[in-house]
Amino acid sequence: MKWLVFTLALLACVARAEPISPLDVDLELVLCVDSSDSIDSSEFALQRQGIALAFQSEEIINAVERGALGRIAVSLVDFSDDASVRIPFVIISDRKSAHRFAAMVLASNREKQGNTSISAGIWTSVRDIDAAPYLATRRVIDVSGDGANNRDWPEYGISMDTAVALAKKNHIVINGLPIESDEPDVAQFYQKWVLTGHGAFMVVAKDVADFGRAIRHKLILEVS
């Protein structure tokens, strides 16, 4: 009888204990966004608004909360001639944190313009994920843009091949959101050169005005 009472008490203690670290997340996601010359100021604003509205939507918030751990880590990287982390990783676990991230996206200004270096965007995104302290079930880079890669980082020896290879080496999936506004073959480029890893996929936006719909749909698939 004493053994039974002890066992039940032990089980109760285990049930109350926190089994996971606060740094464990269902998903590490980098939003890697085109800010090159082909994206004018109004189109840049539409991209930011599309991302912000997606994270304010009940669909995305509910998808996050339904995850095994109920939280994800998201960051934002812009790329043009090179790339930079515009918003470091933020934990999203509920409506409040999702809306806070949306506000940060809207407040993040445009740092620079230039050519389209998707390779720099991917390389920077991989390094961003590797430097983060989180332990994630899934690690994803979400690349969006309206053109093919037209500038590598030769001074660093970084091409599309080397950037994508680094993602593969680190078991990171790269999904794509090509915007078919300026280059009719951009989706084919993304299919051949960008998509990487098991289950990688893309959602095509027919133009920048369609970006909001596309990113919302894509995020639901990535978060769920």
pLDDT of 13 > 70? The answer is no
Of residues 17 and 97, the one with the higher pLDDT is: 97
- Going from N- to C-terminal start, the domains of the chain cover 27-223
Residue 73: phi and psi, rounded to 5, are -120, 130
Which CATH superfamily, name and number, covers 27-223? von Willebrand factor, type A domain (3.40.50.410)
What is the length of the chain? 224
The per-residue pLDDT for 3 is: 43
The per-residue pLDDT for 152 is: 87
In this prediction, residue 216 has a pLDDT band, given cuts at 50, 70 and 90, of very high
> For 67-97, what is each residue's pLDDT tens digit?
999 999 999 999 998 999 999 999 999 999 9
12 burial via Cβ count (<10 Å: 0-12, 13-18, 19+):
exposed
* 197 φψ region: left (φ > 0), alpha (ψ -120 to 50), beta (else): left
User: What is the overall mean pLDDT for the chain?
Assistant: 90
Asked if residue 204 lies in contact with residue 214, where contact means CB atoms within 8 angstroms, the answer is: yes
In this structure, the dihedral spanned by the alpha carbons of residues 199, 90, 35 and 62, taken in order and rounded to 10 degrees, is 50
Reported pTM: 0.89
pLDDT of 8 > 80? The answer is no
